[in-house]
Chains A and B, each alone.
Chain A
Amino acid sequence: DAGITQSPRHKVTETGTPVTLRCHQTENHRYMYWYRQDPGHGLRLIHYSYGVKDTDKGEVSDGYSVSRSKTEDFLLTLESATSSQTSVYFCAITASGSYEQYFGPGTRLTVT
């Protein structure tokens, strides 16, 4: 257990509304990630962070922004949600000194 929680776990929102998903970790890991999981695509990296206020884009970053103002929290924001952003979102951390990642329980987001 890497001490990762995500909130909310489920959310339904309407097209055009802003949405923020939160990832919280308790073990002071430096690297944090946001992925989305869609049928037929596996997991795809949205954004990642390598420290407080240090973030970078992943493979599918359009329409998403992130913030990390403290080590334990990594926020993913959809500024104006679209139906194509209906997905399951996973947060992950990288354990220090390795490349393996540990995942949170996921947030199922539905945009209607």
Chain B
Amino acid sequence: GNSVTQMEGPVTLSEEAFLTINCTYTATGYPSLFWYVQYPGEGLQLLLKATKADDKGSNKGFEATYRKETTSFHLEKGSVQVSDSAVYFCALSGGRSGGGADGLTFGKGTHLIIQP
């Protein structure tokens, strides 16, 4: 079945540091890939997405590239801020049927802490 593996952390960085959160996946077919962010006490917000190989998703300074050859979708940001402290989830579409309508498969989440 489908699965997503990501570093769990916590990952602690200083403000303005470069961020990479690794995400690799196993899936049948051609899934779409997502990064979600969850701030303390809140629900999940879609951060960025990529729907096919070599697509780059970007939003709020974050980027991730859909790499089919390495089955990866690593999240990067050039200069993090304290306000980026949150839990980040990598996810893919394509459940048992290979389509997206039957739910997303999530990684376990990476807790990111940015220190001033």
Contacts and interface: CB of A to CB of B under 8 A. Distances in A.
Interface of A: 31, 33, 35, 40-45, 48, 50, 56, 58, 90, 94, 98-106
Contacts of B100: 94, 98-99
A50 B97 CA distance: 14
Contacts of B61: none
Interface of B: 4, 8, 32, 34, 36, 42-46, 49, 51, 89, 91, 93-95, 99-104, 106-109
Contact of A42 (B99, B102, B107): B107
A43 B102 CA distance: 14
10 contacts: A42-B106, A42-B107, A43-B104, A58-B103, A100-B49, A103-B43, A103-B44, A103-B45, A104-B43, A105-B42
Given A90-B44, A99-B93, A103-B44, A43 B106 contact: yes
A35 B30 CA distance: 23
B92 to A, nearest CB: 9
Q: What's the dominant secondary structure at chain B's contact region? A: loop
Q: What's the dominant secondary structure at chain A's contact region? A: strand
Contact of B32 (A48, A58, A100, A104): A100
Contacts of A31: 101
A58 to B, nearest CB: 6
